[in-house]
Structure 1
Amino acid sequence: MPNDFNQQIIEEFRARGGVVGGPFEGARLLLLTTTGARSGASHTTPVAYLPDADDRVLVIASAAGAPRHPAWYHNLLANPRVTVEAGVFTYEAHATVLVGAERDAAFARAVESDTGWADYQAKTDRVIPVIALREIPAGPPNIAASSPGEAIKLIHEGFRHELALIRDEVRRSGPRVGAQLRINCLAMCQGLHNHHTGEDTMMFPALARHHPEAAPVLERLEQEHQKIAVLIEDLQRVISIEDPDPLVLLTEVERLTWALEDHLTYEEEQLLPLLAG
């Protein structure tokens, strides 16, 4: 059973689509459900995560620098198939403990983005593990929503939240853009591209069949997708530079943020009533 503090975070996380307040406000959190190494029972724990390349996310078994690994780490060693709740989406994943240079590089990126990880390592003699979680493909995404309209709203809020985090990270980056911040930007860009592709190829055609009167709205939304795709390419171009200017990067992030916010607001105003019907 989770302790009372964790249980409060879990309940707030699920109620607010992955956003929590208090000491974890502004953090990237997921809920990790593991199978007990001895009991075989399910255990859910809120953990911080880092976006990673190749459709993975990373979690770090810091236990705040405690002398022993957290229980969830021992669980996934025994049973590497885990369940991940990432705000809107829930999926099964395979957990892989990183070793050697790959582990060290990932932990260095984490420290570069938040020195608290280094503080945790300094408190303990154990080498703090870094674990990669890779989704196990299983058909359409499992979205924690009671209706298509609610699902769209939650997905939009997820993009708003992630862009706000990235804007804050760029502002705090100082004269140099770190490796983890680059990955955060690229992961967000890829997620946004995937979302718009799904809308263009599945949701919009379905709405057009059932609501032909919405053709002008859908055409405008598709055009906005194309404009946002250009902004995504501009952001990717800046972040791919070896030593990008943080001010230039912030400008590109804010251009994308403003355009996306206008787009999401219009889409919600126009499509949520149709989806509700």
Structure 2
Amino acid sequence: MPLDFNQQIIDEFRARHGRLSGPFEGARLLLLTTTGAHTGARHTTPVGYLPDGDGRVLVIASAGGSPRHPDWYRNLLAHPRVTVESGVFTYEAEAVVLRDAERDEAFTRAVEADPGWAAYQAKTDRVIPVVALHEIAKAGPPEVNAASPGEAIRLIHDVFRRELALIRAELDDGSGSALGAQLRINCLTLCQGLHNHHQGEDSALFPHLAARYPGFAAVRERLGREHERIAETVEALRRALSTREPAAARTEVIRLTEELEAHLSYEEEQLLPLLDAPADGTSPRHSDSPLRSDSPLRSDS
């Protein structure tokens, strides 16, 4: 992509927390910042990604089928430590180039999800690389690109809403009756992300709010029941995925979407005023929040 066009995407991506308009609306994109192989300068590039479970995502060095590898790929070969921006989260990652059968399996999944990758490979004699980005674990809560705890929880909720919308579209657009491997991974990554998010709320956020606001007890009880019901729906989705039944999976994704939207809306109504309530007359500080939540893209945190 031309540099000025790239910068427009980067600016919109950051301003709208990962949401893009135009040809990239609804696409799975992240911002990848690498260190120049020769200059040592930092360079940020928008790239498409695939969820891959196990705390990693995959990026593909297609360069639109160019005969040369993209600059960002040559950079990470020299300096494998990179920075990833998902729109909501920013984290450091280690880039690992997939080799041989592992690369071929991942690329096959990518083509299954989007045949455009095959068109790029057909345009070039080079084998298009697939790179796994492994998040580097660090102590403390993740870095959320938000100005307050309330905004952070809303943005994290929006990640789940967007991912569910993408999965529903992928199920509806799938050809034939097969439930593709990449689509199954997308669903399972979402399931794990929801589990981690609710576990973090139950173990840290809700006890903190209950101690600070005695009236929160009834809200906490309802949210806990909803977490249990959503977990049951997630398990039903897992079963449908394991049997590779597209109709059953679609039914459970629709049910999960409806249950989760109602839950998230109620939680935002109840939690956001408490999370952003000034303490001692001062403005709320995001770093003071016990929030420890994970997006579907970071399922092992």
Q: Same fold (TM over 0.5)?
A: yes
The residue identity in structure 1 corresponding to 2:246 is P
Which of 17-26 and 179-188 deviates more? 17-26
* Matching residue of 2:222: 220
Q: Distance in 2 between matches of 1:147 and 1:203?
A: 14
Q: Distance in 1 between matches of 2:203 and 2:19?
A: 29
Once the two structures are superposed, residues 105-126 of structure 1 have per-residue CA deviations (whole angstroms, 9 ceiling, x without a partner) of 0000000111000000001111
Once the two structures are superposed, residues 106-155 of structure 1 have per-residue CA deviations (whole angstroms, 9 ceiling, x without a partner) of 00000011100000000111100000000000122011011000000000
* Matching residue of 2:189: 187
Deviation at 1:219, TM superposition (A): 1.0
Name segments (4+ residues, structure 1) moved above 4 Å: none
Q: Distance in 2 between matches of 1:23 and 1:115?
A: 17
Q: Which SS does the other structure have where 2:219 is aligned? A: helix
Q: Distance in 2 between matches of 1:4 and 1:221?
A: 46
The residue identity in structure 2 corresponding to 1:182 is R
Q: Distance in 2 between matches of 1:232 and 1:56?
A: 21
Question: Conserved in 2, the CA contact under 8 Å of 1:173 and 1:246?
Answer: no
Question: Conserved in 2, the CA contact under 8 Å of 1:149 and 1:272?
Answer: yes
The residue identity in structure 2 corresponding to 1:157 is D
Q: Which SS does the other structure have where 1:83 is aligned? A: strand
Q: Distance in 2 between matches of 1:263 and 1:5?
A: 38
Q: Distance in 1 between matches of 2:132 and 2:26?
A: 22
* Matching residue of 1:9: 9
Once the two structures are superposed, residues 255-275 of structure 1 have per-residue CA deviations (whole angstroms, 9 ceiling, x without a partner) of 000000000000011111111
Q: Which SS does the other structure have where 1:158 is aligned? A: helix
The residue identity in structure 2 corresponding to 1:201 is S
Q: Distance in 2 between matches of 1:9 and 1:212?
A: 45
Q: Which runs of 5+ in 2 are unaligned?
A: 278-301
The residue identity in structure 1 corresponding to 2:260 is L
Q: Which SS does the other structure have where 1:124 is aligned? A: coil
Deviation at 1:53, TM superposition (A): 2.8
Within-5 A mapping of 1:87-236: 87-139=87-139, 140-174=141-175, 175-236=177-238
Q: Distance in 2 between matches of 1:247 and 1:119?
A: 29
Q: Which runs of 5+ in 1 are unaligned?
A: none
Q: Distance in 1 between matches of 2:238 and 2:108?
A: 23
Q: Which SS does the other structure have where 1:145 is aligned? A: coil
Q: Distance in 2 between matches of 1:217 and 1:145?
A: 24
Once the two structures are superposed, residues 234-260 of structure 1 have per-residue CA deviations (whole angstroms, 9 ceiling, x without a partner) of 00111011xx23221110000000000
Deviation at 1:196, TM superposition (A): 0.5
Alignment length (residue pairs): 274
Q: Distance in 2 between matches of 1:218 and 1:276?
A: 17
RMSD over aligned CA atoms reads 0.9
Question: Conserved in 2, the CA contact under 8 Å of 1:34 and 1:43?
Answer: yes
The residue identity in structure 2 corresponding to 1:219 is E
Q: Which SS does the other structure have where 1:44 is aligned? A: strand
Q: Which SS does the other structure have where 2:247 is aligned? A: helix
The residue identity in structure 2 corresponding to 1:101 is A
TM-score, normalised on structure 1?
Answer: 0.97
Once the two structures are superposed, residues 134-179 of structure 1 have per-residue CA deviations (whole angstroms, 9 ceiling, x without a partner) of 0000122011011000000000011000000000001111311110
Q: Distance in 2 between matches of 1:19 and 1:222?
A: 30
Deviation at 1:17, TM superposition (A): 1.4
